[in-house]
């Protein structure tokens, strides 16, 4: 038996390679499948199955890609209805893999087709359970991402039954391998580890504590933030199908500066994936910064409609990675990248824009003398509530475009987030909408709190305990 967790930090996503006697199964693969094919080739194994724990909302699965490349069967649990051929398995069914076997555990709640796969070793002993988005480390899957037919309370009721009847009865030693780790929007507050055991989760996970169904429903459905806008579209893509990556790559070509300018004039979105420092020093006017060194694909999907046509500006050597990471969340209309990067744009004598950076000390000084200064905090409302500059206005990045008309754009706008990534995204959006009195606060909230006389509004200790 061989198990490898393949973890993708920028999406907080875990897929799995399990092997026995020359046969392998891939669980919840990403759309770019090279890593799975390489691992199977390296270990001289045949990929026999592709297990899908549910219709993922936060990324486009590699199920169709892998099936096309290997001929492996795509396996879903009960209630899964797709526009492509699958092997649908029943609750309790056994699937053989070499000298191992998987027992199918239908666990509706996060979604109605959600299914866990219980791995039993060569002796038939329960060894590990691949829980998808049903059970995370320290959390469970949100029941509000697919609620067009069913309310989040109804789904939470199913989730309670699934946890109580299918997962809690498993032995404490059974390893829990979830589909996501910390930072994922598929749960409320996932723990920092990417795997655990049933025993540890029964002792520490709030959702596995002894409580009534009514209490569980209240607990699981409260405090849910708005999910990213691309989630329902990804779930639909995973259910209905998509274009293969080989077709996307053939349409992705190098473009001259003049070609990029012409496409942009016709409404094509330009995304710049360089670092925040590089972007603020100079960029194509009206381009949107989303740095490859952060949660690149997630923020792109949260801010830009998936049907938009896109051109990329990247650091040298990052052209393919930028395209691939966008394809992971369903961007299928990426027509090219700026050949030679931003340096080529400058060399061609094209217009450029910039964003002024200021440090936290300079912000404090300007606050004392600039009567036309407004501080725009683009963190989440929950982050803002946990502490902010007392005169700051909260315009969450996820909602910025829909609220941009409410910005005091006649003022000098000092924009900050937690560390400096989201604030540059926000500043680029403001620039795109013609708001040019923008300054980016370097280091964000982390640096602001180091300024000794900065006027801060902080929650009281009693409030923090409640």
Q: Are 10 and 178 in contact (CB under 8 A)?
A: no
Is residue 297 in a domain? Answer: yes
Confidence band, pLDDT 50/70/90 cuts, at residue 79 = very high
Whether residue 461 is predicted with pLDDT greater than 60 in this model: the reply is: no
For the segment 124-159, what is each residue's pLDDT rounded down to a tens digit?
999 999 999 999 999 999 999 865 578 999 999 999
Tell me: do 385 and 437 sit in the same domain: yes
Tell me: do 299 and 226 sit in the same domain: no
Is residue 93 in a domain? Answer: yes
Cα distance between residue 251 and residue 6, in whole Å: 28
**Which of 313, 347, 381 corresponds to the end of one domain?**
347
Token code pair at residue 196: 């655990």
Token code pair at residue 250: 């053939």
Q: What is the mean pLDDT of residues 67-84?
A: 97
Is residue 338 in a domain? Answer: yes
Q: Which of 89, 186, 103 is nearest to 139 (CA)?
A: 186
Is residue 389 in a domain? Answer: yes
Cα distance between residue 175 and residue 196, in whole Å: 6
Predicted pLDDT of residue 459: 87
Is residue 181 in a domain? Answer: yes
Tell me: do 407 and 456 sit in the same domain: yes
Cα distance between residue 50 and residue 369, in whole Å: 62
Q: Which of 103-107, 145-149, 305-309 has the lowest mean pLDDT?
A: 145-149
Give the chain's mean pLDDT: 95
Instruction: Give alpha helix (H) positions in 205-266.
Output: 213-221, 231-240, 245-250, 257-265
Range of the domain at 419: 356-465
CB atoms under 10 Å from CB of 34, counted, come to: 13
- Where are any strands of DSSP class E within 53-186? 73-76, 87-88, 94-97, 100-106, 115-120, 126-132, 135-136, 139-140, 175-178
Tell me: do 111 and 184 sit in the same domain: yes
Tell me: do 374 and 342 sit in the same domain: no
> Within 13 A of 281's CA, how many CA atoms are on the CB side?
8
Instruction: Compute the chain's Rg from CA coordinates.
Output: 24
Is residue 424 in a domain? Answer: yes
Burial of 60 (0-12, 13-18, 19+ CB in 10 A): buried
**Which of 330, 347, 364 corresponds to the end of one domain?**
347
Tell me: do 336 and 360 sit in the same domain: no
Is residue 238 in a domain? Answer: no
For the segment 438-454, what is each residue's pLDDT rounded down to a tens digit?
999 999 999 999 999 99
Tell me: do 18 and 93 sit in the same domain: yes
Q: What is the mean pLDDT of residues 35-57?
A: 97
Q: Which of 50, 186, 58, 40 is nearest to 117 (CA)?
A: 50
CATH number at residue 180: 3.60.15.10
CATH number at residue 319: 3.40.250.10
Tell me: do 223 and 251 sit in the same domain: no
Tell me: do 261 and 226 sit in the same domain: no
**Which of 233, 258, 287 corresponds to the end of one domain?**
233
Tell me: do 342 and 448 sit in the same domain: no
Q: What is the mean pLDDT of residues 60-76?
A: 98
Confidence band, pLDDT 50/70/90 cuts, at residue 463 = very low
Tell me: do 183 and 285 sit in the same domain: no
Tell me: do 248 and 229 sit in the same domain: no
Is residue 183 in a domain? Answer: yes
The structure's pTM equals 0.93
Number of domains in the chain: 3
């Amino acid at each position: 038996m061989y198990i490898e967790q393949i973890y993708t930090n920028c999406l907080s996503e875990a897929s799995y390679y399990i092997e026995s006697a020359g046969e392998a199964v891939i669980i919840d693969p990403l759309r770019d499948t090279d890593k799975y094919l390489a691992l199977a080739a390296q270990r001289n194994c045949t990929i026999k199955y592709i297990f899908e724990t549910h219709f993922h909302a936060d990324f486009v699965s590699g199920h169709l890609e892998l099936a096309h490349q290997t001929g492996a069967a795509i396996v879903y649990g009960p209630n899964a209805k797709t526009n492509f051929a699958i092997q649908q398995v029943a609750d309790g069914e056994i699937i053989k893999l070499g000298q191992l076997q998987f027992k199918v555990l239908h666990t509706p709640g996060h979604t109605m087709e959600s299914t866990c796969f219980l791995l039993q070793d060569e002796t038939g002993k329960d060894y590990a359970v691949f829980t998808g988005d049903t059970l995370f480390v320290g959390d469970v899957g949100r029941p509000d991402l697919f609620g067009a037919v069913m309310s989040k309370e109804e789904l939470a009721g199913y989730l309670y039954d699934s946890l109580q009847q299918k997962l809690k009865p498993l032995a404490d030693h059974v390893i829990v391998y979830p589909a996501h780790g910390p930072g994922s929007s598929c749960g409320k507050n996932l723990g920092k580890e990417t795997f655990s055991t049933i025993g540890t989760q029964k002792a520490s996970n709030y959702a596995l504590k002894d409580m009534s169904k009514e209490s569980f429903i209240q607990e699981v459905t409260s405090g849910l933030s708005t999910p990213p806008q691309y989630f329902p579209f990804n779930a639909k893509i995973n259910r209905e199908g998509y274009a293969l990556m080989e077709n996307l790559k053939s349409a992705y070509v190098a473009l001259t500066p003049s070609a990029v300018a012409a496409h942009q004039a016709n409404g094509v979105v330009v995304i710049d994936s360089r670092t925040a420092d590089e972007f603020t020093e100079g960029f194509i006017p009206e381009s949107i910064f989303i740095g490859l060194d952060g949660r690149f694909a997630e923020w792109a999907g949260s801010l830009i409609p998936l049907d938009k046509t896109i051109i990329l500006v990247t650091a040298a050597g990052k052209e393919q990675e930028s395209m691939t990471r966008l394809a992971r969340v369903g961007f299928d209309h990426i027509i090219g990248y700026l050949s030679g990067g931003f340096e080529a744009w400058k060399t061609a004598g094209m217009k450029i824009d910039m964003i002024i950076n200021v440090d936290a000390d300079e912000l404090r000084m300007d606050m004392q003398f600039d009567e036309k200064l407004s501080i725009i905090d683009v963190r989440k409302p929950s982050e803002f509530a946990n502490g902010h500059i007392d005169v700051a206005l909260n315009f969450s990045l996820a909602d910025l475009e829909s609220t941009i008309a409410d910005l005091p754009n006649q003022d000098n706008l000092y924009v900050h987030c937690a560390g400096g990534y989201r604030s540059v995204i926000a500043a680029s959006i403001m620039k795109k909408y013609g708001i040019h009195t923008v300054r980016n606060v370097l280091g964000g909230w982390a640096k602001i709190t180091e300024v000794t006389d900065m006027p801060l509004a902080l929650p009281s200790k009693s409030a923090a305990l409640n």
